Amino acid sequence: MRRPAFYSRSPRGTEDAAAPGLPDENESQVAALPSPKRRWQPGRWSFAAMLLVAVAIGAGGMLAWRPTQRQLTQKDIDAAVMHTLQTATLPSPAARAAEIIRPSVVRVVAYGTEKQTPEAKVEKHGRNYARGKPAEAPPPAADDAPGAPVERGVGTGVVIVDKGLILTNLHVIAGADSIKVTFFDGLEATATVTALQPENDLAVLQAQQLPDDLIPATMASTANLAPGEQVAAVGFPFGIGPSVSAGVVSGLGRSFRSPEGKQELSNLIQFDAAANPGNSGGPLINMDGEVLGIVTAILNPTQQRTFIGIGFAVPIENAAAALGSPPF
């Protein structure tokens, strides 16, 4: 059945108004009807609460759908390392080792009267060449006059104890009237001999003045040293340096007799890193910059005293014994 349309009651005109005091029949019916329920409308605070709920639901949904982070595997790490090795230029092992030992290496100069032996002349020629002087040097200056102190020997030393104890070769400072050492920072100091070990051609020096940040070398046992292992010789060949040459251990337990036949050394490390006059007393190091021995001699069948591929070093165990305290 079609429901009749419901229209709101139109206001009545004054002519239809009921008599004063008498209730209108329709009005009484309207008054009897129940009042309509009030519709809920969102207020300011309820709207804010709904907004917060919506934001919370949205954030929770995003977290729920967030993809999990991929875990790195050993394969990923290996690939990254390989990429770095292929694209980055790294210093060579010898360069890293030389940088470690450099603060501990010193130049040793022995002063005395001029020697006229062939060896002394070769060393003097090498020093003049390093200074840029011609092979035929001009007449000697006043400080090179006969009887005046001159450089009798130039060698190398290595700081073993931070109070200024230095290992070098005995033949570098033998017969010297005075000794001077030059540290890595350029500081030049007088040094005195505190101990000798002639059987191993070793001497211990004490510097009278030290740099503020003197770093002693680290020594390494040669018990497990084997032929073929990489080594480097650091020193001042012909006074030039500090210079670095790299090679390998060629042999162990070698013996060497000086060209004059005055002394024979035994239990030496044979190596093929280039060494020349001036390298004597310098450190032979491994690729960790640790001292394995003290360079002491080169083998050459001639009298030229130039390197032909065979050098010898005293093992550090013997060298440290000259200090009175073996390290191993």
Mean pLDDT of the chain: 78
Residue 261 structure tokens = 């036949």
Say what the pLDDT of residue 230 is.
97
Say what the pLDDT of residue 88 is.
75
Say what the pLDDT of residue 156 is.
97
Q: What are phi and psi of 213, to 5 degrees?
A: -120, 50
Cα–Cα dist 282/234, whole Å: 6
For residue 288, the one-letter residue type is D
Answer whether 244's CB lies under 8 Å from 94's CB: yes
Pick the closest to residue 295 from 276, 270, 314 (CA basis). 314
DSSP 8-state symbol, 9: P
Question: Please, where are the H alpha helices in the chain?
Answer: 25-32, 44-65, 74-87, 93-101, 118-130, 170-173, 316-321
Residue 12 structure tokens = 């009545």
Among the listed residues 104, 245, 250, 280, the single catalytic one is: 280
Helix/strand/coil for 52 = helix
Question: How confident is the model over 276-302, as a mean pLDDT?
Answer: 91
Between 142 and 272, name the one with better pLDDT.
272
Say what the pLDDT of residue 53 is.
65
Strand-pairing partners, residue 271, are: 249, 311
Cα–Cα dist 137/154, whole Å: 19
Say what the pLDDT of residue 225 is.
95
Cα–Cα dist 244/100, whole Å: 12
Is 171 noted as a catalytic residue in this protein? yes
Q: What are phi and psi of 237, to 5 degrees?
A: -60, 125
Say what the pLDDT of residue 142 is.
47
Among the listed residues 171, 245, 250, 272, the single catalytic one is: 171
Confidence of residue 82 (pLDDT cuts 50, 70, 90): confident
Between 30 and 248, name the one with better pLDDT.
248
Is 245 noted as a catalytic residue in this protein? no
Cα–Cα dist 126/171, whole Å: 17
List, for residues 183-229, the tens digit of each pLDDT value.
999 999 999 999 999 989 999 999 999 998 899 999 999 999 999 99
Between 148 and 17, name the one with better pLDDT.
148
Is 125 noted as a catalytic residue in this protein? no
Say what the pLDDT of residue 81 is.
82
Confidence of residue 139 (pLDDT cuts 50, 70, 90): very low
* Radius of gyration of the CA atoms of the chain, in A: 47
**Cα dihedral 58, 59, 60, 65 sign:** positive
List, for residues 29-58, the tens digit of each pLDDT value.
544 555 555 554 555 556 566 666 666 666
Helix/strand/coil for 14 = helix
For residue 99, the one-letter residue type is E
Per CATH, the number for 95-321 is: 2.40.10.120
**Which range is least confidently modeled, 6-10, 56-60, 127-131, 269-273?**
6-10
Among the listed residues 201, 243, 245, 272, the single catalytic one is: 201
Answer whether 250's CB lies under 8 Å from 271's CB: yes
Q: How far is CA 324 from the centre of its chain?
A: 31
Between 246 and 24, name the one with better pLDDT.
246
